[in-house]
Amino acid sequence: MDYFQIALVTLEATIRLSVPLILAALAGLFSERAGIFDIGLEGKMLAAAFAGGAAAAVYDSAFLGLLAAIAVSVCLALVHGYASITQRGNQIVSGVAINFIAIGATVILGQAWFRQGGRTPQLGGDSRFEAVTLPFVDTLADIPYIGDIYASLISGHFLLTYFAFAMVPFSWWVLYRTRFGLRLRAVGENPGAVDTAGISVTRMRYLAVICCGILCGFAGAYLSMAVAAGFVKGMTAGKGFIALAALIFAKWKPVNVMLACLLFGFLDALAILMQGRPLPLIGEVPVQFMQALPYILTVILLAGFIGKAIPPKAGGVPYVKER
């Protein structure tokens, strides 16, 4: 393989690996900008992946699978919302709880329903999302480089991939150019200001966690119905936490979120690529180091060595009207 091909393969893998991160991190963005911390992204994504895989297999429809994924993820988001908004519970505790419930329930229900060791049946045909080929792939195929780039980087992805990347500018637009976004950001900074302006803080925050649930639903569906042909036990493998790290790394800004996710996805792709291949000068970089790098980078950022990550001011604090 020449270097161009290697680069192409790596970048393609980067895109494939970043998509769930982007969706989950944007999910977290909506929730946390509204003042609800969410370390339950992992659990929601996992539950959605299972629900999607299961429903798609049973009804033989990728679309119904996607709907199921979203529905389940939103339900968990509402549990988190109920605990943190209505009951004013500890948001971290609630997020931890949801992660465990999802990890356990996906396996128990999967085994009970499908008896395949926690897997859902193999998806294919109508029940799985297929990669789409954009027009002009053949036309451009003969042009050196551009043809290959177009064919493997621009074209040939799942619809959900295009959706994820489209969600980035869309989220930006929603947050900064709509009434909903203005209120959502305000409720995460100073809920009192929102309340006195005659807007319900509770309603805004519930809407925010629902947005979070929907996007986590897409992220989960992507995992079990697009990249893989079915749900596998524990298939999120910490992606929810990498997404959380990316969200912090991006300082809670949509475009930065995409860049951070691409960076973390790239590191992941690189880790796979470099396995067993020594680098010049450095020698062989342990694959474990590459896997830990996103977390290490986030800690360094949190320590304030590369800019300061300032979370939304009212984040994690239940809103109580003062007398």
Partner 1 sequence: MDDLAIELKGIDKSFGAVHANKNINLAVRKGTIHGIIGENGAGKSTMMSILYGFYQADRGDIMVNGSKVIIRDPNVAIASGIGMVHQHFMLVDNFTVLENVMLGAEENAILNRGITNARAELKRLEEEYALDVDADAVIEELPVGLQQRVEILKALYRSAEILILDEPTGVLTPAEADHLFRILRQLRDQGKTIILITHKLREIMAITDEVSVMRRGEIVATRETAKTSVEELAELMVGRRVLLQVEKGDANPADVKLAVTNLTVRDGRGVVMVDNVSLDVRAGEIVGIAGVAGNGQSELLEAITGIRRAESGTVLLDGEAIGATGEADPALLRKRGLAHVPEDRHHMGLVLSFEENENAILGYHDDPEYLNGPMLNLENIRKAAQRSVEKYDIRPPDVRLKTANFSGGNQQKIVLAREMERDPIVLIIGQPTRGVDVGAIEFIHKRIIEMRDAGKAILLVSVELDEIRSLSDRILVMFAGRVVGERTPEATEGELGLLMAGVEEDQEAAQ
Partner 2 sequence: MSSPYEKLPGWVEYVLIPLINLTVAFLVAGLVVLIVGQSPIKAASLLVQGAFGYGEGLGFTLYYATNFIFTGLAVSVAFHCGLFNIGGEGQAYIGGLGVALVCLWLDGIFPWYLTFLVAVTASALFGAAWAFIPGYLQAKRGSHVVITTIMFNFIASSLMVYMLVEVIKPLGSMAPQTRTFLEGGQLPRLDWLLAMFGFDIGGAPFNLSFIVALVAAFFVWVLIWRTRLGYEIRTMGASPTAARYAGIKDARIIIITMLISGGLAGMMALNPIMGDQHRLQLDFVAGAGFVGIAVALMGRSHPVGIIPAAILFGVLYQGGAEISFEMPEISRDMITIIQGLVILFAGALENMFRPALVAFFATMRGAGNPSEVSTSGE
- Could you list the residues that contact partner 1 (CB under 8 A)? 177-180, 182-183, 185-186, 189-190, 192-200, 313, 321, 323
Nearer to partner 2, 51 or 149 (CB): 51
Of 4, 5, 7, 88, the residue at the interface with partner 2 (CB under 8 A) is: 88
> 131-132 and 157-158 as β-strands: parallel, antiparallel, unpaired?
antiparallel
Residue 194, binding choice from partner 2, partner 1, none, Cβ under 5 to 8 Å by partner class? partner 1
Told to check if 248 binds partner 2 by CB under 8 A, we report: yes
The token pair at 183 is 């209120």
* 89/156 with CB nearer partner 2: 89
Nearest in space to 160 (alpha carbons), one of 3, 299, 22: 22
SS3 for 317? coil
Of partner 2, partner 1, none, which one sits near residue 98, judging by CB under 5 to 8 A according to partner kind?
partner 2
Q: Token pair for residue 182?
A: 């203005």
Rounded Cα distance between 106 and 122, Å, is 16
> Residue 135 or 304: which CB sits closer to partner 2?
304
Q: Is the dihedral of CA 268, 269, 271, 272 positive or negative?
A: positive
**Which residue in 16, 83, 32 sits closest to 215, CA to CA?**
32
User: 185 or 239, CB closer to partner 1?
Assistant: 185
CB of residue 5 vs partner 2: minimum separation in angstroms?
29
| 102 counts as binding partner 2 under rule CB under 8 A | yes
Does 282 bind partner 2 (CB under 8 A)? Our answer is no
Q: How far is CA 270 from the centre of its chain?
A: 20
DSSP code string of 258-312: HHHHHHHHHHHHHHHHHTT-PBTTTBPPPHHHHHHHHHHHHHHHHTTSSS-----
Q: Which does 63 bind (CB under 5 to 8 A by kind): partner 1, partner 2, none?
A: none
Give the count of alpha carbons within 13 A of 227, CB side only: 20
Q: How far is the CB of 310 from partner 1 (least distance, A)?
A: 9
The reply to whether 196 sits near partner 2 by the rule CB under 8 A is no
279 or 320: CB nearest partner 1? 320
Q: Which of 13, 105, 140, 272 binds partner 2 (CB under 8 A)?
A: 105
Q: Which residues lie closer than 8 Å to 294 by C-beta, 6 or more apart?
A: 242, 245, 246, 249, 263, 264, 267, 268
Q: Identify what 279 binds: partner 1, partner 2, none; CB under 5 to 8 Å per kind.
A: none
Q: Is there binding between residue 146 and partner 2 (CB under 8 A)?
A: no
CB-wise, 37 or 158, nearer to partner 2? 37
Residue closer to partner 1, measured from CB, 126 or 189: 189
Of the residues 11, 58, 78, 96, which one makes contact with partner 2 according to CB under 8 A = 96
Shortest spacing between CB 190 and partner 2, in angstroms: 18
277 binds partner 2 (CB under 8 A): no
Contact 43, 215 (CB under 8 A): no
Cβ(230)–Cβ(122) under 8 Å? Answer: yes
Q: How many CB atoms lie within 10 A of CB 144?
A: 8
Give the H or E element holding residue 129. none
User: Site residues for partner 2, window 21-80 (CB under 8 A)?
Assistant: 39, 79
Q: Which residues bind partner 2 (CB under 8 A)?
A: 39, 79, 82-84, 87-94, 96-105, 107-109, 111-112, 118, 238, 241, 244-245, 248, 286, 288-289, 291-292, 295-296, 298-299, 302-304, 311, 320-323
